[in-house]
Amino acid sequence: MNAIIKATGISTSKKIKSSLDHATIASKKCLEEATIDKNKIDVIINIGVYRDENLSEPAIATFIQNRLDINLSPFNSKTTFSFDLRSGACGLIYAFQTAISLINNKKAKNILISSSDSYPSERKNKFFPYTTAGAALLVSSSNKGVHFSDFFFRTSENDFLGLESFSYTKDNSKKHLGKNINFKINDSYEKIIQEYAAREVKSFLEEKKIDLEKTLFISSQLSEKFHYAIAESVGLKKNNVVNLYKRFGDLHTSSLTFGYHIAKKEKRLKGKKHILFLGVSPGISIALALYKLSLDDSL
pLDDT of residue 145: 67
pLDDT of residue 178: 62
Condensed to tens digits (0 to 9), the pLDDT of residues 32-90 reads 999 999 999 999 999 999 999 888 889 999 999 999 999 998 888 899 999 999 999 99
The predicted model gives 138-147 an average pLDDT of 84
Query: Residue 177: which pLDDT band, with cuts at 50, 70 and 90?
Result: low
How far is the C-alpha of 274 from the C-alpha of 57, rounded, in Å? 37
Q: How many CB atoms lie within 10 A of CB 213?
A: 12
Domain 150-154+186-298 has CATH 3.40.50.620: no
Residue 101 vs residues 6, 89, 203: alpha-carbon distances, Å: 17, 20, 25
**How much of the chain exceeds pLDDT 90, in percent?**
79
Q: List for the chain the helix, strand, coil content (%; round to 5).
A: 40, 25, 35
Residue 127 reports pLDDT greater than 90: no
pLDDT of residue 1: 56
Contacts of 191 (CB under 8 A, 6+ apart): none
Are the CB atoms for 114 and 135 separated by under 8 Å? yes
Are the CB atoms for 43 and 108 separated by under 8 Å? yes
Q: Which fold has domain 3-143?
A: Peroxisomal Thiolase; Chain A, domain 1 (3.40.47)
Is this structure's pTM higher than 0.75?
yes
pLDDT of residue 169: 60
The predicted model gives 123-133 an average pLDDT of 86
What residue segments make up the domains of the chain, in order of their start? 3-143, 150-154+186-298
Condensed to tens digits (0 to 9), the pLDDT of residues 89-126 reads 999 999 999 999 999 999 999 999 999 999 988 677 77
